[in-house]
Structure 1
Amino acid sequence: MTKVILEIDTQLYRLLKVSAETNHLSLEEECCRRLAGGQRRSRYLQALIAELRAEDEQRRANCR
């Protein structure tokens, strides 16, 4: 298994998390919403989405 380590700006992460909770979305859905909304493409958001998807796949694999 490959281990991925991301350096995340904690302030931006908190703002994304609060926004996701406010919009009743998961963190991944909030990131995708922002990316799809015509906002500037962010490498940070794209990396965060990839990490969230990998974690979700790992959780699903462990539950089987």
Structure 2
Amino acid sequence: MPRLILEIETDLYRMLQQAARTNQLSLQDECTRRLEGGVRRSRYMEALLAELRADDAQRRAERG
């Protein structure tokens, strides 16, 4: 399984942790839920997803 390392602001991390507790999910499941289009998509997660997609597209373009 590929591994993803994220650098996020402490406040945003705490908010994700709180949302995970509120939704009775693990932090990973909360992030996955948001990325898959859960009830409320955060702007931060939208921007993160766009950045990940752009990085992936750039890697593909560099490979040929």
When the two structures are superposed, what TM-score results if normalisation uses the length of structure 2? 0.51
Q: Which amino acid aligns with 1:16?
A: L
2:48 equivalent to 1:42:
yes
Structure with greater Cα Rg: 2
Larger RCO (CA under 8 A, 6+ residues apart): 1
Aligned letter for 1:42? L
SS of corresponding position for 1:42 = helix
Q: Percent identity?
A: 55
Q: Unaligned regions of 5+ residues in structure 2, if any?
A: 53-64
Matched length: 41
CA root-mean-square deviation: 2.5
Q: Please give the TM-score of this superposition, normalised by the length of structure 1.
A: 0.51
Structure 1 segments, 4+ long, off by >3 Å, are none
Distance 2:31 2:19 in 1: 10
Name the structure 2 match of 1:21: 21
